[in-house]
Amino acid sequence: MQNFPLMINGEPVETPQHSEVINPATGLPFASCSQADVHVAQQAIGAAAQAFDSWSKLSHSQRQEYCHQIGAVIEANMPELMQLICQETGKPMGGLNGVGAGMEVGGSAFWAHFTADLELPVEVLQDDDSGRVELHRKPLGVVASITPWNWPLLIATWHVIPALLAGNTVVIKPSPYTPITTLRMVELANSVLPPGVLNAITGDGEVGNLLTSHPQIAKVIFTGSTPTGRKIMASASASLKRLTLELGGNDAGIVLPGTNLDSALPAIFGCCFHNNGQTCAALKRLYVHRSQYQAACDGMAAKARTIKVGNGLEEGTELGPVQNAAQLAIVESLVAAAKEEGGKVLCGGERLPGDGYFYAPTVVAGLSNGSRLVDEEPFGPVLPIVAYDSLEEVIELANDNDAGLGGSVWADDLDDAHALAGKLACGTVWINDHGAVQPNMPFGGVKQSGLGVEFGLEGLKEMTSCQSICIKPLAPKPS
């Protein structure tokens, strides 16, 4: 079985301890990675701290060139990275609506190139007889990036490229469930970067805790669950680290009365079930006006029954397995709770045969807020559809959740949808779409879904601190 090393100071690092990585489509290990401990993590932080001085002194355009080169090595190694992603996450090579390993790798390269082109010019806030005020953006130092298992390469790219572009150096720690693609991407990136600029280590809570408390780490960018986000915030507080926290979501989608379901439902289905619902900003609670409720339930269940679930390496697979056994247990427990609470399972509702963590795409009707499946993030292939009677009621139901990542309104009349969009308490609202992130659009959560934003200029600025320079002319010499 191939072992993937850590990357520290430009060198692959093997450690005595290896951990096996399971392919969720088979339930069997397909590769292993070297395991970092706290001592090894210290070395990675030290290497990044040492590299900071020279990296931060490069010009912005020199760092842009390096970031483009990272995009290029990702592109050049697309088939290998796709295969690794498919094996470690379970997502299909192609996937439902083209959302799969190909999209993850291609999207990562695209994102790297787009972000590399962003400029961070000095802003002149005032320039008149009384003086000149300039706003400069300075790198922070060493950034720790901690990532989850659902989109390991894409999220790593989202963290790493803006951090590097802004002049920081990075230590990244992927999820123990999906470390392989990140380790390989960092190895590839190190073929073009100076040593120490981008380091990758592995581990879970102990190593994570070191990263979030270490005095030489200036900022933590974390994508993962809300409970872990809270721990990170507490751990980072002693040294007042800058934080970007992209946390859990339980996004509501609202179908307005009279919407053409023939057009809307296929699109909604993809927004709920792509990557098996294991996307932070997937549509996880669907609210449909009572006049169209039955038709929407029937349509979604009919579509779910047609979906080809299987090993992502097999041609034509639309959805793969749930990524890990613990997440599968959460899905099973939420569906069991839904049944006890009077929910009607319209399709699916059970594991599929085989050794992998396969679960049938599931649609549940007859529940509302207050039931666990509606209130909690399933992060799996399960969708509750909830009936509503009035717009006032549906806004209240949609906002009645601690999470506030994304939301959507589906309607034929864009003005009607737009009028409702601003009433949703979440970081991004899509109209007739959901969860489609793009590199020029800031993305982040409100309420318990996080702090700060990623993407675009706003995201890049979060990798910097402001320095205002205020220039006053001296009073003229007395004559």
Query: In angstroms, rounded to a whole number, what is the distance separating the alpha carbons of residues 431 and 417?
Result: 7
Query: Considering the complex, what minimum distance in angstroms separates the CB of residue 301 from ligand NAD?
Result: 25
Residue closest to 268 by CA, chosen among 289, 292, 287, 249: 287
Greatest CA span in the chain, whole angstroms?
A: 94
Using rule CB under 6 A, residue 247 touches ligand NAD: yes
> What mask, x for binding ligand NAD by CB under 6 A, covers residues 422 to 451?
-----------------------x---xx-
Query: In angstroms, rounded to a whole number, what is the distance separating the alpha carbons of residues 127 and 129?
Result: 7
Using rule CB under 6 A, residue 280 touches ligand NAD: yes
Residue closest to 19 by CA, chosen among 39, 38, 5: 5
Query: Considering the complex, what minimum distance in angstroms separates the CB of residue 135 from ligand NAD?
Result: 28
- Is residue 380 a contact partner of residue 327, using CB atoms and an 8 Å limit? yes
> What mask, x for binding ligand NAD by CB under 6 A, covers residues 306 to 325?
--------------------
Using rule CB under 6 A, residue 175 touches ligand NAD: yes
Query: In angstroms, rounded to a whole number, what is the distance separating the alpha carbons of residues 430 and 33?
Result: 39
Determine the residue with CB nearest ligand NAD: 208
Query: Considering the complex, what minimum distance in angstroms separates the CB of residue 354 from ligand NAD?
Result: 23
Query: Considering the complex, what minimum distance in angstroms separates the CB of residue 406 from ligand NAD?
Result: 9
Structural tokens at position 427: 């970081």
19: exposed, middle or buried (C-beta count within 10 Å: 0-12, 13-18, 19+)? middle
The residue within the footprint of ligand NAD, chosen from 146, 243, 286, 301 (CB under 6 A), is 146
Residues 339-398 that bind ligand NAD (CB under 6 A): 377, 379
- Is residue 387 a contact partner of residue 376, using CB atoms and an 8 Å limit? no
**Is 246 annotated in the active site?**
yes
Task: Give the binding range for ligand NAD (CB under 6 A) out of 6-14, 49-57, 170-178, 285-293.
Answer: 170-178
Q: Which of 88, 104, 246, 377 is flagged as catalytic?
A: 246
Query: Considering the complex, what minimum distance in angstroms separates the CB of residue 106 from ligand NAD?
Result: 19
* DSSP labels, 418-474: HHHHTTS-SSEEEES--S---TTS-B--EETTEES-BSHHHHHHTTEEEEEEEE-PP
Give residues in contact with ligand NAD (CB under 6 A). Answer: 146-150, 173-176, 204-205, 208-209, 212, 223-225, 228, 231-232, 246-249, 280, 377, 379, 405, 445, 449-450
Q: Which residues are catalytic?
A: 246
